[in-house]
Amino acid sequence: MQDILKMRWFYLLGFLFVGANIYLISKDQLLLVALPVALLLLYTAVYHMDRLFLFIVLFTPLSINIEEYVGGSIGLFLPTEPLLFGMLLLIILMQFIGNWFERDFLRHPVTLIFALQFCWIFLTAITSELPLVSFKFLLTKLWFIIPLYLYGYLFFKQEKNIYWFIWLYIASLTVVVLYTLTNHAMYGFDEETGHWVMFPFFKDHTSYGAILALVYPLLVGYLIGRKNGPLIQLTLASLVVLFGFAIMMSYTRAAWLSLVVALGVYLLIRFKIRFRYLLMVGVAGLIYAAASWTQIMHSLEKNNAEHATENMDERLESMANITTDASNLERLNRWYCAVRMWEERPVLGWGPGTYAMVYAPFQLESLKTIISTNSGNRGNAHSEYLGPLSEQGLPGLILMLVLVGYIFYTAITLYIRMPDGDLKLTVLLLTLGLVTYFVHGILNNYLDTDKATVPVWGFTAIIVMLDLKYKRESGVRN
């Protein structure tokens, strides 16, 4: 009898829900339609957070920024950022209920540097020129880093999840590559259309090229670095060719340069070049550059190579064109603005996330280009390093440099002491992928987007997890 009553209540609630939906749809209200999806996501987040995490990874390359459709006042990537925000709240709640993270992880240098960054961002948000913008920036950082780095650390403890993370992201990115190349082919693969054919998944060709370069070492490394079955080998070879062609057709010179640097880093690791030798070469190079600065600048000023050419050598040479290349000149304009902003507020900066809103008065007329703007609608400081310098002062830049430096120190020392096998190869390839991004970060910055944040901090979480698993013999961590 009780079962019959329960079924009647179930049917009654079902009919009421359907009836309410029909009524609201007739009034152009779709709120209740989303309720089952919201409940499903809530259930998944609470009981199967690992699946929600993979869902986010899968849809990151396919996410769309609603800023392009609702105006410049709201920048939010759907569906990823709301889900990451929900994960942030759940992780905080679960951490209060029961400690999720062991002490070794919380005391790891990378974790501590993240904590210091958050503290400094909070402090500089209080003193910000635009506090509301800065606290929004802080919240965005929290929902990017805590789910991807902190929860990612727990998620990657099951080593199979490392490969799920990598291949789901690459699979989804492959869809974007095919979409982009198909669109581009319709215009004959010319450069001008190559700047926007990846829209709406990527805003422009530079961010698209950066992410392609980020994953390319993984594809090449898995193809030539381990034994695979014929089908897997054919798939990897196809992806290497496809992504290689996509990188070329992205017309992103910084992406090409970052891959060359990654190759150089691989050779250094492969042949075990000692750090002190690299330091000596680096110091000698800086001394030479300082002594020859005037001659170098004269040479650069004579460089008229344009990137809009079919000649690959001339395209690469155009990266140093500071005479006629509007893209290079505008980047220099933004960098000079960042430095001048820092000079005016050297310690606390102008506030996290505020560069685009406050840099305009710092532009010099002599440095403006045909693409300069005062509205801040064409990106920000174009650097992962000068951005924090202008917005968070010198401590912000130092924290960013220390974070990047320690990530690579951790990754390389981990690779050296790990036993041979797939995981050791994976650590090397993740390191090279991060090299491409942080080299690219000298010229552009995308860590305020899910496209870059998910792989960059996900790769970092994998490295830290394995660093703690394969502890240093010195016993620094117990």
pLDDT at 212: 98
Q: What is the mean pLDDT of the chain?
A: 84
pLDDT score at 227: 85
Q: What's the average model confidence in pLDDT over 19-26?
A: 50
- Give the pLDDT confidence of 271-305 residue by residue, as tens digits: 887 767 766 766 776 676 556 545 544 454 444 55
Show Cβ contacts of residue 50 under 8 Å, excluding neighbours closer than 6 positions. Answer: 155, 161
**Residue 454's pLDDT is what?**
97
pLDDT score, position 314 = 54
Backbone angles phi, psi at 78, to 5 degrees: -110, 140
Confidence of residue 6 (pLDDT cuts 50, 70, 90): very low
Span 164-212, pLDDT tens digits:
999 999 999 999 999 999 999 999 999 889 999 999 999 899 999 999 9
Give mean pLDDT, residues 430-435. Answer: 98
Instruction: Please give, one letter per residue, the 3-state secondary structure of 285-321.
Output: HHHHHHHCHHHHHHHHHCCCCCCCCCCHHHHHHHHHC
**Spatial distance between the Cα atoms of 457 and 73, rounded to a whole number of angstroms:** 27
**What is the distance between the alpha carbons of residues 202 and 180, in angstroms, rounded to a whole number?**
10
Place of tokens 């913008």: 133
What local confidence, expressed as pLDDT, does residue 58 receive?
96
pLDDT at 24: 47
Q: How confident is the model at residue 368 (pLDDT cuts 50, 70, 90)?
A: confident
Judge contact between 181 and 245, C-beta under 8 A: yes
Q: What is the pLDDT of residue 39?
A: 57
Per DSSP bridges, beta strands 64-65 and 77-78 are antiparallel
- pLDDT tens for 83-127 read 999 899 989 888 888 788 889 999 999 999 999 999 999 999 999
Q: Does residue 11 surpass a pLDDT of 70? A: no
Q: What is the mean predicted confidence (pLDDT) over 442-450?
A: 93
Higher-pLDDT residue of 310 and 132 is 132
Neighbours of 172 (CB within 10 A): 18
Which pair of tokens denotes residue 212? Answer: 């392609």
